[in-house]
A and B are shown apart, each in its own frame.
Chain A
Amino acid sequence: MKLQEPAPGKWQLFRIWASIGLQSFGGGASTTLLIQRAFIHKHKWLSIEEFLHLWNLCILTPGINLIALTVLIGRKLGGAWGIVVSLVGLLLPSATITCLITAGFSSIQHLPVVQAVLRGVVPATAGIMLLVGLNFALPLIRKSHKEGIFYLLASSVLMIACALAVILLKFSVIIVVLASVFLGALFFSSKSDVPLLQQEQREQR
């Protein structure tokens, strides 16, 4: 286990979120990657497994997942005030810039130069999103590998099936997530999944 750094002060937390909010041009892909870099790689406040766990809770929450994630990370690192400074830090700069871009964009969006630049930026966001997905996939593959070949195979099949269900069959995201909850509970519930400490706690009850 990596060493955890002491939790940040409110001001430092605000600065980190604001810098994410200011830098994350290109939408959610950049934002997610910047959050991973800031809280996992640069400061070791979260492990990728923890991050994925928080993200799972956000997927089960209505609305924008990234804002829910901001709430959870803010609370973990700074309690109620952590939530407030994180939300304001992330959203104030990015919402303001979005407004300003909206005000300017409608007048220049038809210029060929703008169209050409956008045709370069849009596929780049796809590449960044792929990296975010890979960051999420690695701990899952490692864990599945430890559980054995059947587990790994079943995990890969479910992962790809989710993608295909949305792309080819046009299933809604909610249906896919609920189906995965059900299939996961059915096929991936092994005793070894539960950490030893938690098993002991359970036996004591």
Chain B
Amino acid sequence: MINPLIYFLLFLKASLFSTGGFSNLPSLHQDLTGNGWAKESVFGQSIAIGQISPGPNGLWVISLGYLTYGYLGAFLALIAVIIPALLVLAISAGYTRIEHRAWVQGAMHGVSLAVVGLLLTVVWTILRQPGVDWKALLIAVGAFALASSRKVNIPIILGLAGLAGYLLYR
């Protein structure tokens, strides 16, 4: 039997000690399977759904919540990912206090560079998944070109990519 309060706190803990969308996975995996509240297979499913569904990839936990505890689980998971994000207000306030120091400017330039580097690792990780071949690389290049033209809507680009996938891999 799932205890809603503990269930919520487990999600909150995982989110508070994570950065970015998927780093809360190990903690949730350990706690939920440890309590017998989640089957092994739901993790793979929810991550796959997080990749295609709208919104940040981190919303995969909503899918996990739904699969383990229905609509209540999805709702608790959503609240658990919103709360840590509000800490950005404190961080922003702290930053305004020290932003005039020269080292802060340098440090922020460093973070900006890390941001770009980290985005490149995401591109790399996606393209390293099994089933990605030269045709998939062409789709990636095509999506990049269409998106950078700024004339085509994102859902249309993804629709075309899905159609290409259907035609190439069915």
Q: Which residues of A contact B (CB under 8 A)?
A: 21-31, 33-34, 37, 41, 52-53, 55-72, 75, 87, 90-91, 93-95, 97-99, 101-103, 105-106, 109, 112-113, 115-134, 136-137, 140, 143, 155, 158-163, 165-167, 172-174, 176-177, 179-191, 193-194, 198, 201-202
B25 at the interface (CB under 8 A from A): no
Interchain nearest-CB distance for B104 vs A (Å): 8
Beta-carbon contact of B118 and A163 below 8 Å:
yes
- CB neighbours (8 Å) of B112 from chain A are 52, 56, 136, 140
Given contacts A99-B66, A106-B45, contact A31 B55 (CB under 8 A): yes
Beta-carbon contact of A167 and B19 below 8 Å:
no
| Selected contact of A185 from candidates B49, B53, B87, B103, CB within 8 Å | B103
B37 at the interface (CB under 8 A from A): no
- Interface majority SS (helix, strand, loop, mixed), chain B: helix
Interchain nearest-CB distance for A119 vs B (Å): 5
Interface string of B79-96 (1 = CB under 8 A from A): 001111111110110010
- CB neighbours (8 Å) of B50 from chain A are 27, 98
B106 at the interface (CB under 8 A from A): yes
| Separation of A124 and B161 alpha carbons in the complex (Å) | 6
| Selected contact of A133 from candidates B89, B100, B123, B127, CB within 8 Å | B123
List which B60-107 residues lie within 8 A (CB) of chain A.
62-63, 66-67, 71, 74, 78, 81-89, 91-92, 95, 99-100, 102-107
Interchain nearest-CB distance for B99 vs A (Å): 8
| Separation of A136 and B119 alpha carbons in the complex (Å) | 10
Interface string of B106-134 (1 = CB under 8 A from A): 11111111111111111111110101100
Beta-carbon contact of A67 and B85 below 8 Å:
yes
B54 at the interface (CB under 8 A from A): yes
- CB neighbours (8 Å) of B110 from chain A are 158, 180-185, 187-188
A to B CB contacts below 8 Å, 27 in the list: A28-B21, A30-B158, A52-B112, A56-B108, A58-B88, A63-B24, A63-B85, A64-B20, A64-B85, A66-B55, A71-B86, A97-B55, A98-B74, A101-B53, A102-B45, A112-B170, A116-B170, A120-B164, A123-B127, A126-B127, A155-B113, A163-B124, A180-B111, A189-B102, A189-B105, A189-B106, A193-B102
Interchain nearest-CB distance for A76 vs B (Å): 10
Interchain nearest-CB distance for A17 vs B (Å): 11
Beta-carbon contact of A97 and B87 below 8 Å:
no
- CB neighbours (8 Å) of B19 from chain A are 59, 62-63, 65, 173-174, 177
Q: Which residues of B contact A (CB under 8 A)?
A: 15-21, 23-24, 45-46, 48-59, 62-63, 66-67, 71, 74, 78, 81-89, 91-92, 95, 99-100, 102-127, 129, 131-132, 136-137, 139-145, 147-148, 150, 153-155, 157-158, 160-166, 168-170
B145: nearest chain-A partner, CB-CB: A127
| Residue picked from B111, B132, B157, B169, most chain A C-beta under 10 Å | B111
| Selected contact of A190 from candidates B56, B87, B106, CB within 8 Å | B106
Beta-carbon contact of B18 and A63 below 8 Å:
yes
Beta-carbon contact of B166 and A117 below 8 Å:
yes
Beta-carbon contact of A180 and B85 below 8 Å:
no
| Residue picked from B24, B59, B103, B139, most chain A C-beta under 10 Å | B59
| Separation of A133 and B124 alpha carbons in the complex (Å) | 12
Beta-carbon contact of A162 and B114 below 8 Å:
yes
- CB neighbours (8 Å) of A103 from chain B are 66
| Separation of A105 and B87 alpha carbons in the complex (Å) | 33
